[in-house]
Amino acid sequence: MRIEIDEIAKSFGTTAALHPVSFAIPSGALVALLGPSGSGKTTLLRILGGLEFPESGRVMFDGVDATGLSVQDRRAGFVFQSYALFRHMTVFENIGYGLNARPRAARPPKAEITRRVTKLLDLIQLPEIGARYPSQLSGGQRQRVALARALAIEPRMLLLDEPFGALDAKVRRELRQGLRDIHDETGLTTVFVTHDQEEAMELADLVVVMSMGRIEQIGKPQDIRARPATDFVREFITV
C-alpha cells in the first residue's frame, strides 16, 4: 500500500513534535525513520497507525484520505518499542487476539485461527512457545511474538517503533535479517523507527532522516551516504 504524508503537523502543548512534514512511501517499500531522540519519529509513526491525530495535514493510503480513519480501521500492524504483549495471555492467545477481536461475521472459525497462529509461530521460528506467557520469554522472543501478533491481522502496512532497541548486538543482527525476510515474503509496506544509522542504512530501501520535528533528507541509503543534504545529516551518519 502506498502511503502519502501531506503537510502533517503535531504539537504537544507548546512543544512542536512535528513541523509540517510531507513525503511519500511507495507500495511495498521498507522505510526507516532515522533521527536522534526527540526528533518526532515515534509521533509520526503513531499518526500513521492512528494512535495520534495530526493538527493539520493529511494522511493518504493508496490515494484515499485516511486522516480521520480510526485506529481499528487502519489495519496497521504496530510493533511497540516495549512490545506491549498482553501479559495475562499466552503467546498463542496474544497472536490470535486480533483475529478473535473481529466482528462475528468476519471472525475466522476457531480451527482456522489455530492454523494461522501456528503458521505465524513457524514464520517467527518459535514453533514451541505457544503455551508460554510473555514473562517467560527472552527480549528477542518477545519482539518476534509482537511481530507475529501484528502480522496476524493481515495488516495493510507494518509499523515498528525501534523494534530492536532493547536487544544485544547479536540478536539485533539476527532479527534485522528476520524482518527483511518477512518483509520480502509478505511484500507489506513497512516503516520502522530507529536512531541507529547503521541499522537504517543496512536494512531500509528508503531512509527518512529527521531532526527536531523536521525532515532533513529522504533517499536511498547509498545516496544519503554519498550526498548528505545538510550538515546535520553528514554528522549524524558519520558517528
Partner 1 sequence: MSDITTFRSATEETPLARRVLIGIAAGGLGLLVFAPLIVVFAAALQQGLAAAIASLGNQDALSAIKLTLIITAISLPLNAAFGIASAWFITKFDFRGKAFLITLIDLPFSVSPVVAGLCIILMFGTNSLVGGWLVASGYPIVFALPGIVLATMFVTFPFVARELIPVMIEQGRTEEEAALTLGASGWRVFLTVTLPNIRWALLYGVLLCNARAMGEFGAVAVVSGKIRGQTATMPITIEMLYNEYLSVAAFSMAAVLALLALVTLLLKTALELRLADQLSASNRH
Q: Which residues bind partner 1 (CB under 8 A)?
A: 49-51, 71-72, 74-78, 80, 82, 84-88, 97-98, 101-102, 134-135, 149-150, 152-153
Measured from the CB atom, the residue of 134 and 213 that comes closer to ligand ATP is 213
Which residues of the shown chain bind Mg ion in the complex (CB under 5 A)?
42
Strand 64-65 relative to strand 56-61: parallel, antiparallel, unpaired?
A: antiparallel
Q: Does 38 bind ligand ATP (CB under 6 A)?
A: yes
Q: Does 94 bind ligand ATP (CB under 6 A)?
A: no
Selection from partner 1, Mg ion, ligand ATP, none that 189 binds (CB < 5 to 8 A by kind) is none
Taking CB positions, which residue lies at the least distance from Mg ion?
42
d(CA 117, CA 131): 12
Beta-carbon contacts of 222 under 8 Å, excluding residues fewer than 6 positions away, are none
Structural contact between residues 8 and 17, judged by C-beta atoms closer than 8 angstroms:
no
Structural contact between residues 8 and 56, judged by C-beta atoms closer than 8 angstroms:
yes
Measured from the CB atom, the residue of 42 and 141 that comes closer to Mg ion is 42
Query: 5 in helix, strand or coil?
Result: strand
Which residue's entry shows cell 527536531?
212
Min separation Cβ 203 and partner 1, Å: 22
d(CA 150, CA 171): 20
The stretch near ligand ATP (CB under 6 A) out of 35-43, 121-129, 150-158, 181-189 is: 35-43
